[in-house]
Amino acid sequence: MEKVKISTDFIKLDALLKFSGMAGTGGDAKTAVQSGLVYVNGEVCTQRGKKIRPGDIVKCGGAEITVEA
C-alpha cells in the first residue's frame, strides 16, 4: 500500500488519482470514477469531486493508497 501526503484539509478524488499516478490524465481519472472502478474506504465511489481526507483509503485497478496529512 502506497502512502500519499497532502498539505491541505482534503483533495478531490480526481485530483488524487492524477497526483498519485493512479490515472495518467484528468480524463482517465474521470472515466475510472464514472465507470465504478474506484473504491473509497471499501465502497464504490462515482463522485469524482468527492473530498478525500487524511485516513481515507482509495483503491483503483489493483493499486491502493492511504492519504496522510
Q: Which residues constitute the domain of residue 56?
A: 2-68
What integer pLDDT is reported at residue 31 of this predicted model?
96
| Bridge partners of residue 11, in order along the sequence | 52
pLDDT tens for 26-60 read 999 999 999 999 999 999 999 999 999 999 999 99
Give the CATH number for residue 30: 3.10.290.10
DSSP class of residue 50 equals P
User: What is the pTM assigned to this prediction?
Assistant: 0.93
- Residue from 7, 9, 4, 32 nearest 20 by CA: 4
Q: What is the number of structural domains in the chain?
A: 1
Distances (CA, A) of 21 to 2, 13, 67: 11, 12, 14
Distances (CA, A) of 45 to 25, 37, 61: 18, 8, 13
